[in-house]
Structure 1
Amino acid sequence: MLEASPLDEGWTLRHEGEPLPASVPGCVHTDLLAAGVVPDPFVGTGEDEVAWVGRREWTYERELPAALSGHEQTDLVFDGLDTVAEITVDGRPLGRVRNMHRSYRFDVTGLEGPLAVRFISAYAEAEAVRGTVGDRPAAYAEPYQYLRKMACSFGWDWGPTLVTAGIWRPVRLERWSTARLARVRPLVSVEQGFGVVELRVDVERTRVEAALTVEARVGGLRARAEVSGSTATVRIEVPDARLWWPRGYGEQPLYEVELTLLHGGAPLDVWRRRVGFRTVGLDTSADAHGTGFTLVVNGERLFARGVNWIPDDVFPSRVTRERYRARLEQAAGAGVDLVRVWGGGLYESEDFYDACDELGLLVWQDFPFACAAYPEEQPLRGEVEAEARENVVRLMPHPSLVLWNGNNENLWGFRDWGWEERLAGDSWGEGYYLGVLPRVVAELDPTRPYTPGSPWSGSWEHHPNDPAHGTHHSWEVWNRRDYTEYLREVPRFVAEFGWQAPPAHATLRRALPGEELAPDSPGMLHHQKAEDGNGKLARGLARRFAVPEGDFDRWHYLTQVTQARAVAAGVEHWRSHWPVCAGTIVWQLNDCWPVTSWAAIDGDGREKPLYHELRRLYADRLLTLRARDHGLVLAAVNQSREPWTGAVSLRRMSVEGAVIEAAELELAVGARAVGELPVPPGLEPAGAKEFLVADAPGSPRPGGGAAGEGLRALHFPAADRDIPYPRPRFEVSLVPGGVTVTAGTLVRDLLLQADRLGPTARADRGLVTLLPGERVTIGVRGWETPDAAAARAALYCQEPAR
C-alpha cells in the first residue's frame, strides 16, 4: 500500500549564510518575520522595508530520510513551490521548476542526504523570459505576465508588492510498489434520475506485467474494472440520487466516492473525494436584448448574487482551513450564492472548495491570467497547459464549481487599452483563452461550461465589454462618474463593479499605530493603492455630502456610507431587471491586508457597512423604488421559491417626520420573478424636504415598532447636502447582547461602529434609517464592558449640513 510521510518539519532557511528556522508550508517573508529579521509589512510603511526580499535568492534545506525497506519506489512530492526553484539531494540535481500553480514529483528511490530547494528571484526569472519572448504590455509596471505566479504578489490597486518565494503547499515522501494512482478524473452527471459517477483512471507502474483492477464505491454501491495498460474506466449509477443545489434553492447532499487500485486483491493505493449530483449550463443565446449570460443549475435559471474573491492573504500559506470557512460563512451570511475566484490570484486549496460545496456557494473559477498581455511562446506555453490540466482534474469533484473562465480583462485590454498597436502582431494570450484552455476543459471536464474571459461579449463581432452581450465590467462609474450612472445601463451580467471605502477604525489603528489619522496622512496614503484613489473618494463624497474639513471620523463614516449606497444603486437596479440581467458580482468580498479598497470585509476580517448592506441587497426578497421612463415604480424582486403576495404601504413624508400622503398597494409576484407597481399620483416626493417610504408586511409602522423586521425601500430625490435634515435625536439603552436606539426624529444611515467599543466587538447590522418613534436593537458580540455612553459615542448618522 502506498505510504505517505509528510516532510513539514526540520527545514531551515538560509539568510546571509546562516540558517533560520523555516515553516513548511510557508514562505520566505513569514519565516523572516517569525525570526524578527524584518518588520511586519502590513504595519505602517513596513512593506517598503521588505522590498529587497523578493529580489534575493533563498534556499530551504533539510535532510532527506533514508528509504524504508519494502517499497520499490520513493517519490518526493511538492504540492506547491513558489515559484522558480532548483531541487537537489546531496548536491545531485532533481529538477528545475517555474510554476506556482503546479505540483511536482521526483523519483528519489535510493537517495538520501541533504535536500535543498533553491529559489531564484521571481524578478530575475521574469526579466530572463522577457528577454527571450520580448516586451508585453500590462496594467501595472511589475513583470507578472512573464511567469506563472500569483500576479497580485507583485502588487495591485488594493494589494502590497510582496513578491514571495517558498514551499507554499505541503511536501511529502510517497513510497509505493507495483503501481499507484497517477490521476483520477471523476465525471459526475445526472441521467434519467440516476446520479452517475464515471471515474477515468491513469496509473503509474513499476511492474508492467502486473494484473491490476480498480474498485469504486459510492455509498453501498460498488463496481470494478480491469486496468488495461495504464488506464481504466469504472462507472457507478446511483438511483434516486439527491440533487446538490446552490444555497437558497435546496440542500447540498455530498456523496463519498472511494477508488481503490488492487493487485491480486491487495490494495495498492486509494483515492477519496466527495461529489454532488447536479447539472450545470450557461445560456448564452441571443435574444431581443442582445446576448444572454445566465447560469442554469438543475434546470433552474439563476440570478447570481456574487462576490469577487481575491487571495485572503498576500502570504497564502497563512490561510488555514478555518480561515477559509470563516470568510466563506461570512459570504453565505450576506446572501451570496456565487464566489468568483479572480484571475490575478490562485487556484485555491481544497479547503476553499470543500467549504463552498458544504455551504452551497457556486464557484466561478478564473484561470490565473489578469490585466496583461501574456506571451504564448515557450517556456510559458507548456507551463500553461500543464497547470490547466492538473487543476481542472484536481477541482473536478467539487459540485460548487460551475464555470471555468479563461482570464480577467485581457480580451478587453487588447481592444481598448492600446495593446493591439503596441503588440504589432506578437502573441498576447488569445491562443490560451480561445484555444488551449477551452480544449483542455472540453477534453478533461466536459460537465462544466467554459467562457473565454470576463468581460467577454461572446465573439469579436461585439466589443468585449459591450453591456448588451455576455459579461460586463462596470468601472467607468467608480473612476469618473456618480454612482447614479449605474442606472443608465442594464448589462446582461455584471461580473465586476464596486466602490472604495477605508477599513474599520480598529483595523486602521492596528495597521497605523500612533499615526494621527487623516485621509492624506502618510500611513493612509501608503495603504491606498488605487490610482487617484483618494481623489475618487473625495469626488464621490462631494457629489453627495458637505464634508467637514479636518474631521477624519466623519470622513471615515461618510466614505463607508457612500460605498454601501453605490453598490446598492447598482444591485437594486440590475436585480429589478431580471431576467435581462442575470447576475451581479460585487468587487470585492475580501482583502489580503489592511487597505482602503472595494472590499466588504476588511483585511482584519471586520465587516464594513457594505457587508451588512449586501445582506439586504442579496436577500431572496428585495423591495426597491425605481425611476422608470413612465414614472416612479415599486419593484418587488422575488428570488424565493414561493409567490410573494400581500399589502405594501407607501408614505410620502417630510424630513420633519409628517406623513403627507399615504396609500396601500396589493403585491402579487410569482416565484423567481420581479413585479412592478406604479407609484400612485401624489405620492412622489416633491423636492429635497420630502421622501418616500415603502414597507412590506412585517415592516415598522408609524408610532412605534422595531426597524428592520420586514422589507423597506426609501427614495430620497435629492443629494444629502441639499436635504434639510433635522438635528438627529435618539435615545440609547443597553439590552442583553446589544444596544437599542429609539428615534425622536428622522435618523438616516444610523451606524454603530462596534469596533470602536473594543477591537473584538462586532455588530449584527450596518446602516439603518429610523423614522420618528421607531427603534432598532443592534446585537453586539465581543463587547467586554458594555457602556451606554460608549455606545452613543460609537453611533453615527446623517446630520444637517454645516
Structure 2
Amino acid sequence: MNKTIFFAFLFIQNVIFAQSSERDLSSENWQFKNSKDNKWLPARVPGTVHQDLMNNKIIQDPFKDENEKKVQWIENEDWDYQTSFTISSKEVKNENVNLIFNGLDTFSEIYLNGKLLKKTDNMFRIWEIPVKQNLKVGDNLLQIKFKSAVNTGKEFAKKVPFTMPESPRSFVRKAQYQFGWDWGPRLVTAGIWKNIKLEFWNNAKFDNIKVEQKNLSTKRADLNIHTSILADREGKYTIVINDKPNQVQLKKGQNQIDIPFTIQNPKLWQPNGWGEAYLYDMKLSLQKDSKALSYKSLKLGLRTVELVQQKDEKGKSFYFKVNGNPLYIKGTNWIPADSFSPRITKEKYQKLIKDSKDANMNMIRIWGGGIYEDDEFYKACDENGILVWQDFMFAGSFYPADETFLNNVKEEVKDQVNRLQNHPSIALWCGNNEIDEAIVNWGYQKQFKYSKNDSIQVWKDYKKLFHDVIPNTLKENLTTDKNIYWPSSPSIGWGHKESLTEGDSHYWGVWWGEQPFEIYNEKVGRFMSEYGFQGMPTLETAKSMFSGTPDLNLQNTTIKAHEKHGRGWEIINEYMKRDYQTPTDFIKYNYVSQLLQARGMQIAIEAHRRSRPYNMGTLYWQLNDCWPVVSWSSIDYLGNWKAFHYQAKRSFEPLLISVSETTESYDIYCINDLLEDLQIDSKMELVDFDGKVLWGAGATSKLLANSAEKHLEIKKENFSKFDLSKTVLKIVVGSNSLKSEKLFFFKKPKDLKLPQPTITIKKLSPTEIEISTDVLAKDVYLIGDTHFSDNFFDLLPNTSRKINLTKPLEKIEVMSLWNTLKN
C-alpha cells in the first residue's frame, strides 16, 4: 500500500476510535431546581442558573428594562442539577472510565448514583474523576449540588481578622465581573458552564501535549514534543507524529515522553500587519499493536516572542520583539462577551477577533476580572495574527494567601497553562489586573482602618500569590521561557512619575481624573495597557435595552440603568460641553457621544504612536461589552461598530499621518509600522469648507521601516490670514504600495463654522454605495440595519467615498455634525 494512503487510512481509524472513546453528557436531559424546592424544571448544559430561570419564565431577561435589580435574590440561593444517562454493557467493559467536568461554577458537590465523588471550589479548574467502579449497566443518576458563592465567600471572609475590599468576591475563584463592574451588571451565576463528558480508555492515553520550540531559523525548526501519557499497562507503544512513528516504552502510571521533531524550511507565524499567521497541523496518535488508543491534534505556529526591558536615559524600555523585530503593539482590552458566558457562540468569538484584525490590531489583553476564554477565542487569535496578553483571573482587590487558597490557585494555573500554552498567540502571562495599584494607591487600608500589621499581611499575601506561587507554577508547566510573566498590570500606578518611564501604564487622568483629552499628548508611557473614555452604544443596541416599545429618552430610567458608572452621564456631559454643542434630541446625543469617545481615543492613540520608540504599545480600554450598556467599548454588545471602532481602524493603519500642534507650528509626523522602508511623496493643502485650495506644499522623502518621524513642520504664520474655523489641512502621503490621507481641523468641533451640506448617496450595486457632498460634511453618519465598511468620516467637496454594505438596504439615512448645531 502507498505510504501516504496507508497513513491517511490509519489517521481516519484513529479519529473514529478517539471519537468513540468519549461521550458528551451535556446533551442529556438535564433538570434543575432551587435546593429548597421539590419540583424539577428542564435545564440546558452548558448554561447558568439565570439562563435556566429565564427559559422557564421564572425571571425576566435581566438585560432588559431595570430587571437586573429584580434578580439579585438568585445569588443567595443553592441550586441542584441532575440528569440520568444510560451505560451499555459494552461501555462498562472499558478498563477505565473518567467523568470530566470542564467547568463548574463554583462550589459544588458531585454525586453519582447517590455517592459523593468530589467537592469543587473553583470555576476555572478542570475536574477529572475515575468512575468505572461507580457506574452500572442501565440508568445512572448524576447530581451536582451548587452552594451560593456569595454566602460561601462571606463565610470565608469571616476568618480574616480585617475587612477585605470587594468582599466576598475576592475569596471565591470565579469570574469577578459577575459581582458587578462599572460597565457590567451584578449577575452572580451558578451552574454547569462548560461541557461534561465521559471518557472511556484502555491501556494508555494522552494526558497532555506540549510543544517546545528549541531552535528556529529560516532553514529549520527544531522542536521537542513533550507528551504526558497515563498508562494502565506497561509495555511497548508507538507515538505517531504526523507520519513519523516513534517507539516508546511506557511504565504503568504517569509517563513523560519527549520526542524531537524537525520542520525544514519553516514558515513563520506573523502578527497581523506583518504577513500570514501561518499554522502547521500536528496530529498525534498513541498506538499499541497497530491499534489506536488515543489521539490529539493541534495547530502550531512557529514564532519567537520576547519582552525587552532595558534601562535607558529616560527609564526602562517595555516592548515586544516578535520574530526578531520590535513590534509596535496596537490593540485593545477584552472583557467576557456576555454576562452569561456559556452563550457566547463560536461565531461571536470569530467576529470580534476578525473585527480587531480589520481594525489593524495585533494584540488583545484578556483582562483579569473575567474568564480564561474558550478555546475558540485563542483559535481565532491564532488564525488572525492577534497576540494575546493573558491576565490570570484576579482584579482590583486584595486576595487571601492561606494554604487552601494557594493550592487551589496552583491547580487553576496548571489547568489553564496546560490548556493554552501551545497557542502561538500567547505572548505574555500577567499575574493580575490593578492589584499592586489597589494596595499602594486606592486607600483601602485607611478606609477599613487597617493596623500596621494588617497592611504588612496584605503585602506579604500579595507577594506570596503573585511573585511566588503563580510564576513558579507557570515555570513548572511551561516548556519554554519565551512566554513571559509580568506580575501586575499596571506595574506602577498612574499617579506616579515612574508609571510613564518604565513598565506598563494604565492612564486614567482622562475620565477618572476629568483632565482634558489634550493631556494625552503629555502623558505618554512606555507601554499604555489601559486608557479609555465612554460612549453610547448604537441605536439598535439602545433599543434592545427595552422589553417593549423603546422610549429613547435620556431621562428614561432604563437608559439610565444601563450606565453602570456612578458619575458616567455627568462626566460624558462635561467633556461634551468642552468639545461639542450638546444636543437634547436622543438620536443626536447618541451620535455626538460616539464622536466624543472617538475623538478622545484618536488623540490618545496618535500621541502614543508619535512617541515611538519611547512608547511601544497602546491597548485601549475596551473592545467589547457583556450586555447592552453605555461603556468604554468600541464594539457594542450586539456586535455593532461604534464611531470609536471606525476611528481605531484609521488610527491603527500601518502608515499613519499625525499632526502635533506646538506654540509656533504644526508638526506633521509619519509613522510606518511595516518592515520595509517607504519612499513617500507628500502633498499638503489648506482647503476651505467649500473645497477651495488656499495654500499648498509638497515633499518627497524616505520613511524608515518600523519608525515614527517628524516629516514636515508648517509655521503657524503661514495660515495667519485665514479663518481657521472654516478651513481644514489636507495631507496625503503615499508610496508605490501604500497611501494615507489625513484631514486636520484647527478648532474643536463646536468652534467650526460648518456649512449645511447636501450629501448624495449613489447606489452602485445592492451592496455598494458612493457618498459625495457639495461642501464639507463633517462626521458623516450612515444609519441603517447593515454594517458599513466605513462610517463617521469627514468628506470634502469634489471627492467621494465608496462604501460596502454587508446586506442591501432599501433606505439609508444620513446625517452629519451640522445636524447637531444650534442654529
TM-score normalised according to structure 2 size:
0.90
1:215 counterpart = 2:246: no
TM-fit CA distance, 1:337? 1.0
Q: Is the Cα–Cα contact under 8 Å of residues 691 and 796 in structure 2 kept in the other structure?
A: yes
Alignment of 1:401-800 (within 5 A): 401-419=426-444, 422=450, 423-427=454-458, 428-445=461-478, 446-457=481-492, 466-479=499-512, 480-512=514-546, 513-548=548-583, 550-628=584-662, 631-655=665-689, 657-681=691-715, 682-684=717-719, 688-697=724-733, 710-736=739-765, 737-754=767-784, 758=785, 761-784=786-809, 786-787=810-811, 790-792=812-814, 797=818, 800=821
Question: Secondary structure of 1:476's match?
Answer: coil
Distance in structure 2 (CA, Å) of the matches to 1:437 and 1:465: 25
1:734–1:239 CA distance, 2 compared to 1 (3 A): closer
Distance in structure 2 (CA, Å) of the matches to 1:30 and 1:542: 41
TM-fit CA distance, 1:748? 1.2
Aligned length: 776
Aligned to 2:48: 27
Q: Match of 2:776, as an amino acid? A: L
Aligned to 2:212: 187
Distance in structure 1 (CA, Å) of the matches to 2:366 and 2:500: 22
Greater shift, 18-27 or 59-68, is seen at 59-68
Could you list the per-position Cα deviations for residues 652-679 of structure 1 after superposition, in whole angstroms to 9, with x for gaps in the alignment?
A: 2344544332111224201211221233
Distance in structure 2 (CA, Å) of the matches to 1:664 and 1:468: 36
1:638–1:226 CA distance, 2 compared to 1 (3 A): same
Distance in structure 2 (CA, Å) of the matches to 1:688 and 1:471: 38
Could you list the per-position Cα deviations for residues 694-730 of structure 1 after superposition, in whole angstroms to 9, with x for gaps in the alignment?
A: 332579xxxxxxxxx9522233232222222223333
TM-fit CA distance, 1:81? 0.5
TM-fit CA distance, 1:769? 1.2
1:242 counterpart = 2:263: no
Aligned to 1:704: none
Distance in structure 1 (CA, Å) of the matches to 2:466 and 2:630: 32
1:60–1:292 CA distance, 2 compared to 1 (3 A): same
Q: Is the Cα–Cα contact under 8 Å of residues 690 and 716 in structure 1 kept in the other structure?
A: no
Q: Match of 1:441, as an amino acid? A: L
Aligned to 2:22: 4
1:762–1:143 CA distance, 2 compared to 1 (3 A): same
Alignment of 1:112-151 (within 5 A): 112=135, 113-135=140-162, 137-138=164-165, 141=166, 143-151=168-176
Distance in structure 1 (CA, Å) of the matches to 2:59 and 2:498: 43
Alignment of 1:157-306 (within 5 A): 157-192=182-217, 193-207=219-233, 210-213=234-237, 215-217=239-241, 219-227=242-250, 230-231=254-255, 232-306=257-331
1:430–1:136 CA distance, 2 compared to 1 (3 A): farther
1:237–1:631 CA distance, 2 compared to 1 (3 A): same
TM-fit CA distance, 1:135? 4.6
Aligned to 1:703: none
Could you list the per-position Cα deviations for residues 131-172 of structure 1 after superposition, in whole angstroms to 9, with x for gaps in the alignment?
A: 12345544xx46221111011111111111111111111101
TM-fit CA distance, 1:253? 2.1
Could you list the per-position Cα deviations for residues 256-285 of structure 1 after superposition, in whole angstroms to 9, with x for gaps in the alignment?
A: 223333445543322222211111100011
Distance in structure 2 (CA, Å) of the matches to 1:278 and 1:189: 11
1:389–1:278 CA distance, 2 compared to 1 (3 A): same
Greater shift, 377-386 or 146-155, is seen at 377-386
Q: Match of 1:724, as an amino acid? A: K
Distance in structure 2 (CA, Å) of the matches to 1:747 and 1:545: 16
Q: Is the Cα–Cα contact under 8 Å of residues 749 and 767 in structure 1 kept in the other structure?
A: yes
1:50–1:69 CA distance, 2 compared to 1 (3 A): same
TM-fit CA distance, 1:357? 0.9
1:153–1:195 CA distance, 2 compared to 1 (3 A): same
Could you list the per-position Cα deviations for residues 579-632 of structure 1 after superposition, in whole angstroms to 9, with x for gaps in the alignment?
A: 111111111111111000111110111111111111111111111111257732
Could you list the per-position Cα deviations for residues 752-782 of structure 1 after superposition, in whole angstroms to 9, with x for gaps in the alignment?
A: 133xxx3xx2211122112233222333333
Aligned to 2:57: 36
1:732–1:203 CA distance, 2 compared to 1 (3 A): closer
TM-fit CA distance, 1:175? 1.7
Could you list the per-position Cα deviations for residues 532-558 of structure 1 after superposition, in whole angstroms to 9, with x for gaps in the alignment?
A: 01111001101011213x311221111
Which stretches in structure 2 are left out of the alignment for 5+ residues?
Answer: 1-16
Q: Is the Cα–Cα contact under 8 Å of residues 682 and 734 in structure 2 kept in the other structure?
A: no
Distance in structure 2 (CA, Å) of the matches to 1:189 and 1:32: 51
Could you list the per-position Cα deviations for residues 427-473 of structure 1 after superposition, in whole angstroms to 9, with x for gaps in the alignment?
A: 3533222111221222222231111111115xx9x959711111001
Question: Secondary structure of 2:180's match?
Answer: coil
TM-fit CA distance, 1:216? 4.3
1:31–1:627 CA distance, 2 compared to 1 (3 A): same
Aligned to 2:399: 374
Which stretches in structure 1 are left out of the alignment for 5+ residues?
Answer: 700-708
Distance in structure 2 (CA, Å) of the matches to 1:443 and 1:425: 29
Question: Secondary structure of 2:714's match?
Answer: coil
Q: Is the Cα–Cα contact under 8 Å of residues 594 and 644 in structure 2 kept in the other structure?
A: yes
Question: Secondary structure of 1:751's match?
Answer: strand
Question: Secondary structure of 1:477's match?
Answer: coil
Over aligned residues, Cα RMSD in angstroms? 2.4
Could you list the per-position Cα deviations for residues 177-203 of structure 1 after superposition, in whole angstroms to 9, with x for gaps in the alignment?
A: 333333333223434543233232333
Distance in structure 2 (CA, Å) of the matches to 1:441 and 1:251: 29
Alignment of 1:351-370 (within 5 A): 351-370=376-395
Distance in structure 2 (CA, Å) of the matches to 1:777 and 1:406: 46
Q: Match of 2:578, as an amino acid? A: R
Question: Secondary structure of 2:456's match?
Answer: coil
1:781–1:176 CA distance, 2 compared to 1 (3 A): closer
Distance in structure 2 (CA, Å) of the matches to 1:369 and 1:464: 25
TM-fit CA distance, 1:74? 1.4
1:97 counterpart = 2:120: yes
Distance in structure 2 (CA, Å) of the matches to 1:646 and 1:302: 22
Question: Secondary structure of 1:481's match?
Answer: coil
1:499–1:103 CA distance, 2 compared to 1 (3 A): same
Greater shift, 499-508 or 106-115, is seen at 106-115
1:136–1:635 CA distance, 2 compared to 1 (3 A): farther
TM-score normalised according to structure 1 size:
0.92
TM-fit CA distance, 1:110? 2.8
Distance in structure 2 (CA, Å) of the matches to 1:777 and 1:283: 42
Q: Match of 2:228, as an amino acid? A: D
Q: Is the Cα–Cα contact under 8 Å of residues 689 and 754 in structure 2 kept in the other structure?
A: yes
Q: Is the Cα–Cα contact under 8 Å of residues 665 and 714 in structure 2 kept in the other structure?
A: no
TM-fit CA distance, 1:420? 5.2
Q: Is the Cα–Cα contact under 8 Å of residues 84 and 99 in structure 1 kept in the other structure?
A: yes
Q: Is the Cα–Cα contact under 8 Å of residues 501 and 598 in structure 1 kept in the other structure?
A: yes
1:797–1:103 CA distance, 2 compared to 1 (3 A): farther
Percent of residue pairs identical:
28
Q: Match of 1:125, as an amino acid? A: T
Greater shift, 263-272 or 554-563, is seen at 263-272
